[in-house]
Amino acid sequence: MSIIQRPRGTRDFLPEETWRRSLARNAMQEILEHWGYQEVATPTFEHLELFTEKSGASVLEEIYAFQDKGGRDIALRPELTAPVMRLYVSELQNSPKPIRLYYFGNCFRYERPQKGRFREFWQLGAELIGGARPDSEAEAIALADQLIRSAGIRGEIHLGYLGLIRAFLERIQEDKRAAAMRMIDKKERSLLAELLEDQDQDVLGLLELIDLKGNAALDKAREIAQELELNKAAGGAGAITDPKPGLQADGRRSARTARAVDSQLRLDEFQETVDLLQAYGVDFHIDFEIVRGLDYYSGTVFEIYAQGLGAQRQICGGGTYELASLFGGKETFSTGFGLGFDRIMQIARIVGERAPPTFLIYSPDVKPDAIRIALSLRRSVPTVLDVMGRSMKAQLKAASGAGAKYAVIVGREELDSGKLLLRDMSSGEQEALTLEEIEGRLGQTVSGAPRR
C-alpha cells in the first residue's frame, strides 16, 4: 500500500518548528494579555452567508464551500474577523464598551498554492470593539507593532485614511467607484488616470496624493479636503444628498451601498491618530495609497511590511470598520488587525534553543521507584523514562543519541544509599546527589536558559 500524503497546500510541522511557533505565539499572547485583550475562539466552519455578506459573492471562488448532510451551505473560515464579529453580535453586544478581543486559528482558502501562501494558514488578530476612534486606531496600530517586534521583526507601517479617498470618489459616477478603489489598491495608475480623466476629475490631485508619502502626503490631503469642502459648500459635485436616516454624518460611514459619506470625512480625526501614534513611539509612513480593497473599512487603515519575504512582503493589515450591523447587530465601529502568522514565522528571529530532556536511567528491579523519581523530576525539568525494556547501557546510548545533557542513574545501590548519580553526558563525569539536590541543580539549568 502506498503512503498517504498530506493534501496539497497544507503542511506538517515537526517538533522543532512547532516549538518555534509556540514560542512566537506565547510571546504575542503575553503582550495581548498585558494590553487587556481576552482570547476568544470560533468554529472552524461557519454558515456560508457570513462570508458572502461581508465580502460579496466573489468570495465563493476563493473559499472551501459545501453543503452538509442537512443541505446547509457551509464554508471553512477564510479569515477570522467575520466570525469574531458574529460572536460579538450574538454573545457580547450588550456588554460594556470597549471590548478587547484576540484570537489565533487556522483558516482556509482555495487557490493555487505558491511560495508563502497555503490553502491552510494561521492568523492571529485583535479587535477593539466600540472604542473612541482615534484612540482605538492608535492603540491597535501600536499593539500590532509590539506583536511583530516580539518575533524579532521591525515592520514598515504604512498608514492611510479612507475617509478622504471615499470623499474624493463621491465626485465620480457611483458605478465607477468600486473600480477606482480597486485600481488604487492594485496600484494600476494608468487605468486610474484614464478613469479620472473620463470623469473630469483629474485636476484635483488624487494621483499626486497617492504618489506622495509622509508629511507631504498629509499636506496634500489637507489641500484636497479643503477644496472638497469648498465644493460641497457651493453645492457642486461631491455634495452629499439623501443620507440614510439615523446615521450621523461624521465621516466614518462604511462604503456599503446607501450609507452616508461625508465629504471632508474628519481629516482632523486622522491627524489625531497620527499624533497619538507619535506618543506611542511608533514609526510609520503616511500613505494614502493604502485602501485595503475591502468595502467595510471606513476610517484609518494600515498595512505592515517586512523584509525577507520577496514580493509578498505584507505581514499585517487592519483598520477601522463597521460590520456589526451587517450581521444583524447595532451599528458599532471597531478597529482591528490580522497578522499573517505563517509569513511572520518565515522571518522570525527566535533566540535560544530547545533544551533536551533529562534521561532517567534505571535497572529493571527498581522500575516502580524509577517511576516515582521521574514524577518528582518532571515537576522541575523535562524527564524521559525508558519504555522499551532496554538495559542500562542501552538507555545511556539512547540518551546520548538524543543529545541529552544530563542523565540521572538509579539502581538498587543508589536507592539504598539515598543518593542518585547525576551524569554529565558531554564529559562523562558523575556526581552522587540526593533527589532534592538533583532537582535544584537541573532546575537552575532550565530556568537560566533563554526563552526566545
Gyration radius of the chain's alpha carbons: 29
Taking CA atoms, 224 is separated from 112, 203, 290, in Å, by 41, 11, 17
Distance CA(93)–CA(83), nearest Å, equals 14
Kindly report the number of other CB atoms within 10 A of residue 97's CB atom.
13
Is this model's pTM higher than 0.85 or not?
yes
Choose among 301, 278, 283: nearest CA to 291: 301
In whole angstroms, give the CA distance from residue 84 to residue 103. Answer: 8
Distance of CA 195 to the CA centre of its chain: 35
CA 339 – CA 188 distance, rounded (Å): 26
Each residue of 140-184: pLDDT tens digit? 999 999 999 999 999 999 999 988 888 888 888 888 888 888 888
Please write the tens of the pLDDT for every residue from 289-337: 998 867 788 889 999 999 888 878 999 999 999 999 999 999 999 999 9
Q: Cα(63)–Cα(83) distance, rounded to whole angstroms?
A: 15
pLDDT at 224: 85
- Res. 399: pLDDT tops 50: yes
Cα–Cα distance, 308 to 344 (Å, whole number): 10
- What pLDDT digit, counting tens, does each position of 434-449 carry? 999 999 999 877 644 4
As given in the structure block, the three cell numbers for residue 176 are 465607477
With vertex at residue 197, the alpha carbon angle to CA 192 and CA 200, rounded to the nearest 5 degrees, is 130
Identify residue 173 by its one-letter amino acid code: Q
Q: Which strands sit side by side in the sheet containing 45-47, from one edge to the other?
A: 45-47, 73-76, 65-67
Mean pLDDT of the chain: 88
Which DSSP letter does residue 3 get?
A: P
Q: Which helix (DSSP H) or strand (DSSP E) does residue 121 occupy?
A: strand 120-129
